């Protein structure tokens, strides 16, 4: 990653900047967003972790996550608190850190159905906007540049070849050593589901910069996004 010295005027400009990073699952959104936030001294928000936390809570409470009415009726019960430190992001539910639990296979299988419920998106989008506040943050998800923060100064849409995404996601698995082909099929299923849902579908904002990370290192992706940001605030050297 490039070493950069940021002037005070650039730091001041960054304090009110919102950087939206959207994209497909396994394309490197989380790692790249954390890296950009750390490089620029900004806060970080993983919007997907909020949907996962709610999904985990619903599953623990025995709610049928395929029943949209049941999900909506229980959507506002837990208090979700996302941490914004890019070096150690956390997600707390009712005061308890559930960062590991929300990455389980069960949550992964259920989160698309839960996040498609309009009441869920209404509640969590409002919370995400509260966290974003005046700016100074990198936010990653599926609908940040299109719905959550459509006025974001910098918008990026990350993608990668499905086979490469499946390899990456398999390496991150906590519960097992999954078959890469099965993981790829699941990623494509989730992308199709999220792209076609009627509320806040996965899509690239019309003014987003598209980055294909298939053959790029994480460092290269971070550097590209940081350069975009510094170009916007006049701080590129």
- pLDDT tens column, 91-113: 999 899 999 999 888 998 899 99
Can you state the angle between helices 118-132 and 47-60, rounded to 10 degrees? 130
Give me the CATH number covering residue 20. 3.40.50.300
Does 219 map to a domain? Answer: yes
Assess if residue 130 is contained within a domain: yes
Give the pairing of strands 80-82 and 137-141: unpaired
Tens-place pLDDT, residues 17-70: 999 999 988 888 999 999 999 999 999 999 999 999 999 999 999 999 999 999
- Domain annotation covers residue 33: yes
Which residues form the domain of 168?
8-226
Q: Does residue 232 sit within a domain?
A: no
Tokens 């989730």 belong to which residue?
190
Q: How many domains does the chain have?
A: 1
Let me know if residue 188 belongs to a domain.
yes
The span from the CA of 29 to the CA of 183, in Å, is 17
User: What is the per-residue pLDDT across 151-194, written as a single tens digit (0 to 9) for each?
Assistant: 999 999 999 888 888 887 777 665 556 677 887 887 888 778 77
HSE (side-chain half, CA atoms, 13 Å) at 134: 5
CB 49 within 8 A of CB 111: no
**3 occurs within a structural domain:** no
In a domain, 231, yes or no: no
Strand (E) positions, the chain?
18-23, 43-46, 80-82, 91-93, 96-97, 137-141, 154-159, 209-212
């Amino acid at each position: 990653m490039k070493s950069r010295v940021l002037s005070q005027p650039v730091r001041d400009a960054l304090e009110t900047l919102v950087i939206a990073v959207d994209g497909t699952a396994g394309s490197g959104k989380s790692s790249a967003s954390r890296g950009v936030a750390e490089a620029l001294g900004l806060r970080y928000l993983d919007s997907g972790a909020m949907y996962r936390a709610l999904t985990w809570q619903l599953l623990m409470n025995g709610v049928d996550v395929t029943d949209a009415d049941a999900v909506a009726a229980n959507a506002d019960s837990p208090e979700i608190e996302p941490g914004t430190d890019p070096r150690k992001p956390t997600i707390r539910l009712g005061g308890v850190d559930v960062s590991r639990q929300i990455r389980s296979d069960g949550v992964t299988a259920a989160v698309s159905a839960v996040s498609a419920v309009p009441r869920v998106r209404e509640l969590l989008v409002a919370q995400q906007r509260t966290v974003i506040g005046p700016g100074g943050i990198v936010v990653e998800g599926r609908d940040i540049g299109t719905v959550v923060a459509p006025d974001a100064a910098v918008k990026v849409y990350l993608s990668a070849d499905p086979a490469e995404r499946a390899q990456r996601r398999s390496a991150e698995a906590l519960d097992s050593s999954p078959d890469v082909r099965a993981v790829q099929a699941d990623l494509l299923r989730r992308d199709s589901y999220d792209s076609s849902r009627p509320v806040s579908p996965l899509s690239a904002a019309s003014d987003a910069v598209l980055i294909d990370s298939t053959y790029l290192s994480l460092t290269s992706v971070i550097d590209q996004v940081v350069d975009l940001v510094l170009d916007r605030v006049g701080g590129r050297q």
